[in-house]
């Protein structure tokens, strides 16, 4: 048998995943392996302009055992069919398969909560959230952290809250965190300023909690952002090696998945509302690289908001319509505004009364808030 197996499709051009699936099913039938092999969700590879469909052993859908590449008029199977059939048998006999669990979502309404995220989340049942998008308080932000916490206490605070986040997140769903290394200004002329790599320290914590790293997206701001911090002025004047310090115009958007042995396909195929899943498809243009150019946002009452365009992009790419989106460090509720616009539900937690008040009035302008809650001692 050839390394590659070709199949002439009836179609001259493929328009969507349903068509690809039909072509791939016909190919399975022709090769008499439709009873042992399932197909993964077709994915369009826009680098090479063809569709990819994973071949999955029916007895163990976790590890693909081959791939079909479908382009306008042919199907190419990467790998030898006999070997694939053999691997199928091995997987069949040796792997004890977890029964594919069904998915249900709790019909909780959108809500805003005043209180410390750790206390608030402790009371929440598991599996109540389908996406978490958040930007934790900066370590150097006043008055939230810097003056009251040392760096290790700060990281412990994040560990506690993200542990609760992990518990309330549904299996296989995503946590997206906006962070960046922060600058601690030098206290006097004889001292040096320091940059603290929050993104990387937090990564270790999230990995320990059992979030699986998926992607690092760079949020790039237009040139000019970051100049006010005065970084790099010394180098600009002296041009001495070792003094070089770039002006920071980026932040990190780090993507994690709640660790599971189920494939992402499982989350999509078993979504309890297939119509919502269908309506959530991202049609038209989308961001193809991990550099997202988005202008920063300002708010008269909060010093560190992220732009609604950023929240919209994350929510669109990592959740379905109707999903519950949690922001445990909600600020003025940008995540909630984006979630409403995209027909998702939201759960927003903020511990500052002042920001909570702004959050409530900003959100109420466009959408009625369904439920207010206050953690013990919050008022």
Ligand X SMILES: C[S@@+](CC[C@H](N)C(=O)[O-])C[C@H]1O[C@@H](n2cnc3c(N)ncnc32)[C@H](O)[C@@H]1O
Burial bucket for residue 80 (CB in 10 Å: 0-12, 13-18, 19+): middle
Can you tell me which of 81, 139, 144, 176 binds ligand X, judged by CB under 6 A? Answer: 144
Which residue number, 119 or 265, has a Cβ lying nearer to ligand X?
119
Strands 291-293, 324-327: pairing kind: unpaired
Residue 70 or 121: which CB sits closer to ligand X?
121
* Ranges of H-type helices in the chain: 17-30, 81-94, 117-122, 151-168, 198-209, 233-238, 264-269, 274-279, 308-318, 334-341, 353-366
Assess 135 for contact with ligand X (CB under 6 A): yes
- Strand pairing report for 129-134 and 169-179: parallel
In the region spanning residues 313 to 372, those forming contacts with ligand X, defined by CB under 6 A, are 328-329, 331-332, 334, 349-352, 355
Query: Radius of gyration over alpha carbons of the chain, in Å?
Result: 24
The smaller minimum CB distance to ligand X, of residues 20 and 145, is found at: 145
Q: Which of 1, 64, 57 is nearest to 31 (CA)?
A: 1
Nearer to ligand X, 269 or 299 (CB): 299
Under 8 Å between Cβ of 131 and 315: yes
Rounded least distance, CB 256 to ligand X, Å: 17
- Minimum CB separation of residue 211 from ligand X in Å reads 19
Measure Cα distances from 228 to 197, 242, 247 in Å: 20, 22, 9
Could you tell me which of 309, 324, 376 has the C-alpha nearest to residue 131?
Answer: 324
- Nearest approach, Cβ of residue 143 and ligand X (Å): 9
68 binds ligand X (CB under 6 A): no
Residue 141, SS3 per DSSP: coil
Structure tokens at 4: 């590659």
- Closer Cβ to ligand X, 119 or 323, answer by number: 119
Using CB under 6 A as the binding rule, whether residue 80 contacts ligand X is answered as: no
> Judged by CB, which is closer to ligand X: 182, or 276?
182
Judged by CB under 6 A, the number of residues near ligand X is 19
- Does 149 bind ligand X (CB under 6 A)? Our answer is no
- C-alpha torsion angle, residues 54, 58, 60, 62 (rounded to 10): 30
- Of 88 and 132, CB closest to ligand X: 132
Contact flag: residue 310 with ligand X (CB under 6 A)? no
Q: Which is nearer to ligand X, 36 or 178 (CB)?
A: 178
Binding mask 100-119 for ligand X (x = CB under 6 A): ----------------xx--
* Dist. CA 130–CA 319, nearest whole Å: 7
> With contact defined as beta carbons under 8 Å apart, do 342 and 315 qualify?
yes
Min. distance of Cβ 252 from ligand X in angstroms?
13
Min separation Cβ 103 and ligand X, Å: 28
Q: Kind and range of the H or E element at 57?
A: strand 50-57
- Residue 304 near ligand X by CB under 6 A: yes
Least distance from ligand X to the Cβ atom of residue 72, Å:
45
Instruction: Give contact residues for ligand X (rule: CB under 6 A).
Output: 116-117, 135, 137, 144, 302, 304-306, 328-329, 331-332, 334, 349-352, 355
């Amino acid at each position: 048998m050839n390394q590659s197996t070709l199949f002439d499709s009836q179609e001259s051009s493929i328009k969507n995943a349903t068509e690809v699936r039909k072509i791939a099913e016909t190919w399975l039938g022709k090769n008499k392996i439709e009873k042992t092999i399932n197909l993964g969700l077709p994915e369009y590879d826009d680098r090479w302009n063809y569709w990819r469909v994973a071949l999955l052993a029916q007895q163990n859908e976790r590890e693909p055992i081959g791939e079909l590449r479908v382009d306008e008029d042919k199907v190419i199977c990467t790998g030898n069919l006999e070997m694939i059939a053999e691997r199928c048998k091995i997987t069949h006999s040796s792997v004890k398969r977890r029964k594919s669990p069904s998915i249900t979502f709790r019909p909780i309404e959108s809500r805003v909560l005043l209180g410390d995220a750790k206390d608030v989340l402790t009371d929440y049942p598991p599996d109540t959230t389908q996406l978490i998008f958040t930007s934790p308080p900066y370590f150097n932000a006043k008055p939230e952290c810097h003056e009251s916490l040392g760096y290790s206490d700060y990281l412990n605070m994040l560990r506690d809250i993200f542990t609760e986040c992990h518990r309330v997140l549904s299996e296989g769903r995503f946590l997206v965190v906006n962070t960046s290394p922060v600058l601690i200004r030098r206290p006097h002329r004889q001292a040096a300023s320091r940059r603290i790599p929050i993104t990387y320290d937090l990564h270790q914590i999230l990995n320990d909690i059992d979030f699986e790293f998926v992607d690092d997206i760079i949020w790039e701001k237009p040139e000019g952002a970051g100049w006010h911090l005065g970084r790099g002025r010394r180098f600009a004047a002296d041009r001495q090696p070792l003094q070089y310090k770039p002006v920071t115009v980026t932040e990190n958007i780090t993507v994690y998945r709640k660790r599971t042995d189920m494939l992402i396909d499982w989350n999509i195929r078993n979504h309890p509302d297939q119509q919502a899943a269908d309506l959530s498809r991202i049609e038209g243009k989308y961001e193809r690289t991990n550099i997202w150019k988005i202008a920063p946002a300002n708010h008269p009452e909060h010093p560190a908001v992220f732009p609604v365009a950023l929240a919209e992009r994350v929510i669109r790419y990592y959740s379905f319509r109707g999903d519950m989106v949690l922001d445990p460090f909600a600020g003025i509720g940008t995540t909630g505004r984006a979630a409403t616009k995209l027909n998702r539900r939201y759960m927003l937690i903020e511990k500052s009364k002042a920001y909570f008040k702004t959050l409530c009035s900003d959100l109420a302008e466009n959408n009625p808030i369904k439920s207010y809650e206050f953690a013990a001692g919050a008022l």
